[in-house]
Amino acid sequence: MVLRSKFVGPFFVDCRSNCQPVLQNILDCDMKPISDLLKILELDQLTETRFRGESKDIGSKYIFGGQVLAQGLNAATRTVPEGRCVHSLHGYFILPGDLKTPIEYEVDLIRDGRSFTTRRVVAFQKEKAIFNMSASFQKEEEGLDHQIEMLNVPPPDSLTSFIELAKKYAKMLNIKPTGLFAEDSPIDIRPVENINFLAPGKRPPFRHLWFRSNGKMDDLKNMHRYVLAYASDFNLLITALQPHGVSFFNKHLQIASLDHAIWIHRDFRADEWLLYAIDSPSASNARGFCRGSIFNREGQLVASVAQEGLIRLHPEK
């Protein structure tokens, strides 16, 4: 039996006994184009611990890793006691996902403690695991507070968006702008550094960019965390290419995320500008390692990210 969400007034309501609102009316035209992403991140509930989701084609051959991260986090969150929010997650990408096949997420209810809740999620397609994730949730608490400082960079309003850059490079590459480069991209990204996509040249492994959802979102805290998880998978691994002057569009390049971790430090809104400061400390053994610090416009560090990915540069034939 599929426990689908019901549309009631301005909310989509989760079909469980507590009937908490889980998604604002995503048909609201004021939320476009972020509404399309929120529809993809919403899941059908099959049982108390099993969920099903569809995929969105962003122009890649396989399912985008950030989508699986966000959907897996949604599945885990919907089994967690009220009042607890995710503070960390660690995911592994096992197999490439098929865009045309639904994904089923099985949640293992590891533990519900007095302050923390632990969940494990495995994503399946055609009975094969393509992704697994552990996530920890916590009640809000007061405690010691410190952070690193945010770099002083130009404000987002002064920068060119990926969408505008795409119009230039799409003509050069003779491709149709999709995903982040599409006019209806769910995430608005403004790179700080001016990078030539086709001939980037050798540069230090540092990258900074502003991002936010392309449209206003509801106040529901968890939904902002799903969108951040989705957006956090963009721009990380390509930072490891910079010291080598390799373009992401190099036809001999094979690149794929292997694992991904996120730590949430402070509350934030994904529909307000966030600065993603990325660096790549190392690349070796056909793998690149990257880190990211995410700040709000007030300079608060709201999240940290780490990822390792496969990077193979095949010889020309």
Task: Name the DSSP class of 70.
Answer: H
Give the three-class secondary structure for 89.
strand
CB 72 within 8 A of CB 106: no
Task: Taking each helix axis as running N to C, give the angle between helix 34-41 and helix 221-231, from 0 to 180 degrees, rounded to the nearest 10.
Answer: 100
pLDDT at 109: 98
Catalytic, out of 67, 161, 242, 307: 307
Strands of the chain, DSSP E:
6-8, 11-13, 21-24, 44-45, 50-53, 84-93, 103-112, 116-125, 128-139, 187-191, 206-213, 253-264, 274-284, 287-296, 301-313
Question: How many angstroms separate the CA atoms of 261 and 69, rounded?
Answer: 10
Distance CA 88, CA 138 (A): 9
CA atoms of 201 and 99, how far apart (whole Å): 33
Phi, psi of 70 (to 5 degrees): -65, -40
Whether 233 sits among the annotated catalytic residues: the reply is yes
- Collapse the DSSP code of 14 into the 3-class scheme (helix H, G, I; strand E, B; otherwise coil) and give the result: coil
The span from the CA of 256 to the CA of 122, in Å, is 19
Residue 60: the pLDDT is 81
Q: Active-site residue 259, yes or no?
A: no
In this prediction, residue 248 carries a pLDDT of: 85
Q: Which residues of 222-235 are buried (b: 16+ CB within 10 A; e: fewer)?
A: bbbbbbbbbbbbbb
Domains and CATH numbers, the chain: 6-139+158-313 (2.40.160.210)
Interatomic CA distance for residues 136 and 257, integer angstroms: 22
How many Å apart are CA 121 and CA 104, to the nearest integer?
10
The pLDDT of residue 1: 37
Catalytic residue among 213, 232, 257, 304: 257
For residue 20, the model assigns a pLDDT of 37
Q: 138, 128, 2, 121: which is closest to 68 by C-alpha? A: 121
pLDDT of residue 179: 60
Sign of the four-CA dihedral 20, 26, 30, 36: positive
Which of the residues in the chain have pLDDT under 50? Answer: 1-30
Asked about 20 being catalytic, the answer comes back as no
Q: Does the N-terminal peptide bond of residue 33 adopt cis geometry, omega within 30 degrees of 0?
A: yes
Least Cα distance to 231 among 216, 248, 218, 212 occurs for 212
Query: Residue type at 223?
Result: M
Q: Across all residues in the chain, what is the average pLDDT?
A: 87
Q: Which one of 188, 218, 233, 271 is the catalytic residue?
A: 233
